[in-house]
Amino acid sequence: MRAVASAGLDPRRADGFLVAVNEIVTNALTHGVPPAVVNVFPTRTAIQVRVHDRGGSFTNRAAPVQQVPLELHGRGLWIASQLTDELRVDSGADGTTVTATVRLRTPPVPI
């Protein structure tokens, strides 16, 4: 993602954010209703990624919690919450949107 690479995030933090976005997109493709739409919003102070699908049945709007370590599935949103500064899930009649935000600690490089 060019926006993440040019935003001024150190490589480790950028890698973590991309893992978080991957988890969110994977959830939308696996559990949501197509299409899954990804939008990236870089600003001077943060990068925000919104993933939206048309499935509106997501009921766990509370902060993601760590699941049992031996389970094979069910940790995607928890992982994403650990790798971002803010994770928000909004679900309703028009679908589900997961928004991940990471704040910049250094000024971004112009795109």
Any domain includes 110: no
Domain that includes residue 24, residue range: 2-103
pLDDT the model gives residue 38: 97
Any domain includes 79: yes
CB atoms under 10 Å from CB of 39, counted, come to 11
The type of residue at 58 is: F
What tens digit of pLDDT does each residue of 60-84 get?
544 455 555 555 566 788 899 999 9
Counted domains in the chain: 1
Q: DSSP H helical segments within 6-102, as ranges?
A: 11-31, 76-82
Any domain includes 34: yes
Any domain includes 109: no
Any domain includes 92: yes
**CATH no. for residue 49?**
3.30.565.10
Any domain includes 52: yes
CB within 8 A of 84, min separation 6: which ones?
17, 20, 100, 101, 102
What tens digit of pLDDT does each residue of 2-44 get?
666 677 788 889 999 999 999 999 999 998 999 999 999 998 8
Residue with structure tokens 């995607």?
Answer: 76
pLDDT the model gives residue 5: 65
